[in-house]
Structure 1
Amino acid sequence: MPFLGGSLAFERFSVSGFEVSEFGDEQIELLAQNVAGNNQTASAENVHIGFLGGAHLFDQEFEVSKNVLDEAVHFSIRIDTNQIPSAIRKAWLQMELLALAKDSPSGVVSKAGRKEAKEAVEQRCEVEAASGKYRKMQQFPLLWDHTRETLYFGGTAGTASGHCADLLERVFNVELRHISAGSIAQAWAIENDLYAEVDDLVPANFVPAVPHGDLAWTNQHSKAPDFLGNEFLLWLWWTLENDSDTFTLPDNSEVTVMLTKTLSLECPLGESGKETISHESPIKLPEAMHAIRSGKLPRKSGMTVIRDGQQYDLVLQAETFGISGAKIHVDEDADFEVDERIDAIRTLSETIDLMFHSFCARRVSDTWSKDLKGIIHWLENAGTQAERSAA
């Protein structure tokens, strides 16, 4: 039960259209009616998806006292696939064709023979699939927070989260939208009447000698400015190195931040590749500075965040704002209840968002031109210092 114990990894989705004031027996019954194995997606693939009670891969028990915790519901989703691997299908087809070729006077399989071989393979696939020999089960923990209208999906955004969203939307008549750096920026802009300003933003160029437009990893199907996530990590890096590791958030609370453990960078042009650095303090290593001086941008960073006396260690993915390897530090002697852990997850998400809001406020203000010049000068000056040290 990752959301209730151990390290955390999740993507977030906003939930709209849920008109019920609180989770109760009706919602628990809906989960039970759609238990794992009873529902199939609209996909042509042989995929079955359903809910679980959250304790383990075969937990089909749902109860208000068990699943509803601190105005949130904790459960999981299981995705069952029963597909023959393509390599095995190809091997079976080759075997059928070879057998037909041996029986052919010319040694060549006719068009009708190829059709016969394909049909034989399909029949074999049906038999093998029915045996359950190739069945695969995947479980993903979920925490649906009613107070924040947020679904925490215990995995990375992709096919699995798509199946999850599809089932939840159909069962509960809600709409789910993935929360990314760009969508967070847009929501912040709407709240602060700055949507036009955010909508006009284009990727900044921190290394004038390496100009670029859209980033190589940009999602062409999304209008959200997810590139702000990459800029946020670089701005945060610069702030920590040149100002302070503690700053005030928009709600007037203070946060202390350190970039630690891991740092992944990539060329925005898609030309000079990727680089991942593992170290207690990766931003202190010369190869990290060399990477950003060459125009690479952070795509993922480990960090330690301390706010209101609570410490979190985590890895933040820049564009999706997905969190992985997150640890909530507690005193060994302290009793850390489930409700407190759920509140800690909320606070972790809120803290990361507030840090990003601080960046967004600077990004659309007149202060940004000063910050941009400062970052450019920092990169240039750091390069000069490195050259002097090498000499």
Structure 2
Amino acid sequence: MPFLRGNLGFERFSVAGFDSQIFTDEHIEIFRGNAAGRNESSSTENVHVGFLGGDHLFDQEFDLHKNVINDATHFSVRIDTNQIPAAIRTAWLQMELAGYAKDSPSGVATKSQRKEAKEAVEQRCEVEAASGKFRRMQQFPMLWDFANGQLYFGGSVGTASAFGIDLFERTFEVELRRVGAGLIAQEWAIENECFGELDDLVPARFVATHEHHSLPWANEHTQLPDFLGNEFLLWLWWMTENDHDTITLADDSDVAVILTKTLALECPGGESGKETISAEFPTQLPEAMRALQSGKLPRKTGMQIVSDGRTFDLVLQAETFAISAAKIHLDEEEEFSDDDRIDAIRLLSDTVDMMYHAFLARRINKDWDKEIKQIEKWLKRPESTQIKAAA
């Protein structure tokens, strides 16, 4: 059960339209009726998607005691494909054509022979697919925190995993929205009645000689301000480098932050490419600062945070707010139940969001221009000063 054991990696979705306050046997029956592996097909182009009980790749068992934990439902989706790889199809076709060419006076297969070769390959694909030799199964763990209207998706959302998201929406008649930097910012602004101020924001210019009005990695299909995620990571970097490693959150609690392990940056102008740095404290290395000074923006960074007495290691992706390689630190001989694990996942997500909220409050504040100037001054430090500070 990935969300209940080991390190964590997930993206989040908001869930709208679920009209029940509790999870019941009726919902468990829905899982059972859509379990993976119930319907088989030999089609070479077919994709089968179904739910799993969460224990392993063939787990079709669901019940309230097993799957519902602390007002959250733990399960998986399995995506089965039965497709012949394109390279193999091409090889089979070349072999068929070579046979015809060998017997041809011209040494080249005729038009009718090429058609026969393609038909032979299609027949072979059907036979090979029916054998199950090329069947591929992918499993994606999910944690549905129905009490808080969120779905944790274990892994990165891509073409294959989109089938699982679609199945979830259709089966439970809900609507999912990917929770990224832009959506978090928008929902925070609406709740705090400052949507107009947020809507007026444009990408900040941290290096005077590098100005950009959009980011090449931005999602062209949305107007959400995902660029604020990149600015948030840069702001965290500046804060921690200037002896402000504790952030006061909206609930008056404090969270301690250290940037560690990994750092990925990219040029928003597409001029100087990408850079990835791995070190115990990558932001303290001179090459990291040089990357910032050249106009690059952070897209991903590792960090350790301490919130409510609990320590977490994680890697945060700026635009999607995807969390990977997350570890929940436990005290020696601490008893940690599945309920505790769910609470820790909620604490981790809430803490990261509230850190971001603290940045957003400063980003729309009238004093932001002063803060930008301080960051610009910090970026202009001589390298010798940076090395001394890191030591």
User: Quick check: 1:101 aligned with 2:90?
Assistant: no
Within 5 Å, give how 1:307-318 maps onto structure 2: 307-318=307-318
Shift of 1:103: 2.2
- Secondary structure of the residue aligned to 2:147 is coil
Letter in 2 for 1:91: A
Shifted more, 337-346 versus 268-277: the winner is 268-277
1:106-162 residue CA offsets vs partner (Å, 9 max, x unmatched) = 222222222221111111111101100011111111100011100000000212331
1:166-191 CA distance string (max 9 Å, x none):
00111100001111011111111111
* Matched ranges for 1:124-143 at <5 A: 124-143=124-143
Q: Distance in 1 between matches of 2:170 and 2:387?
A: 60
CA contact (8 A) 1:38 1:48 kept: no
User: Are the counterparts in 2 of residues 81 and 137 from structure 1 also a CA contact under 8 Å?
Assistant: yes
Displacement over 6 Å in runs of 4+: none
Please give the alpha-carbon distance, in whole angstroms, between the structure 1 residues aligned to 2:270 and 2:36: 41
In structure 2, how many angstroms separate the alpha carbons of the residues matched to 1:38 and 1:193? 49
Which position in structure 2 is the counterpart of 1:294? 294
Question: Number of aligned pairs?
Answer: 388
- Retained in 2: the 8 A contact 1:54–1:75? yes
CA deviation map 1:228-259 (0-9, x unaligned): 11100000110111241112101111100000
Distance 2:161 2:144 in 1: 14
**Which consecutive unaligned segments of at least 5 residues does structure 2 have?**
none
Distance 1:283 1:255 in 2: 19
Structure-to-structure mapping, 1:241-252, within 5 angstroms = 241-252=241-252
C-alpha distance in structure 2 between counterparts of 1:151 and 1:386, whole Å: 42
Q: 2:358 and 2:69 mapped to 1: Cα distance?
A: 31
1:262 & 1:175 partners in 2: Cα distance? Answer: 34
Residue 49 of structure 1 deviates from its aligned partner by 0.7
Match of 2:148 in 1: 148
> Structure 1: 5+ residue runs without aligned partners?
none
Checking the alignment, whether the CA contact within 8 Å between 1:293 and 1:383 is kept in structure 2 is no
Distance 2:375 2:157 in 1: 31
The residue type equivalent to 2:286 in the other structure is P
Query: Which residue number in structure 2 is paired with residue 334 of structure 1?
Result: 334
How far apart in 2 are the matches of 1:39 and 1:180?
Answer: 35
- What residue in structure 2 maps to residue 32 of structure 1? 32
Q: How does 1:150-165 map to 2 (within 5 A)?
A: 150-165=150-165
Superposition pairs of residues 271-290 of structure 1, within 5 angstroms: 271-290=271-290
Percent identity over the alignment? 64
Contact 2:13 2:177 in 1 (8 A): yes
Partner of 2:172: 172
Moved more, 376-385 or 277-286: 376-385
> What residue is the counterpart of 1:22 in the other structure?
22
Aligned residue identity for 1:182: G
| Contact 2:247 2:254 (8 Å CA) reproduced | yes
Q: 1:240, 1:272 → 2: CA distance?
A: 26
In the TM superposition, what are the counterparts of 1:182-261 in structure 2 within 5 Å? 182-261=182-261
Gap change, CA 1:223 and 1:210, over 3 Å in 2: same
Does the Cα contact within 8 Å between 2:286 and 2:387 map onto a contact in 1? Answer: no
Q: Are the counterparts in 2 of residues 153 and 161 from structure 1 also a CA contact under 8 Å?
A: no
> SS of 1:99's equivalent?
helix
**TM-score, scaled to structure 1:** 0.95
Deviation at 1:198, TM superposition (A): 1.7
Amino acid of the structure 2 residue aligned with 1:331: D
Work out whether residues 73 and 145 of structure 1, in 8 Å CA contact, stay in contact via their aligned partners in 2. yes
Q: Distance in 1 between matches of 2:353 and 2:175?
A: 21
CA drift of 1:274 comes to 1.2
* Mapped contact 1:84–1:129 kept (Cα < 8 A): yes
2:381 partner SS: helix
Residues 167 and 105 (structure 1), Cα distance of their counterparts in 2 relative to 1, 3 Å cut = same
CA distance in 2: counterparts of 1:113 and 1:208, whole angstroms: 65
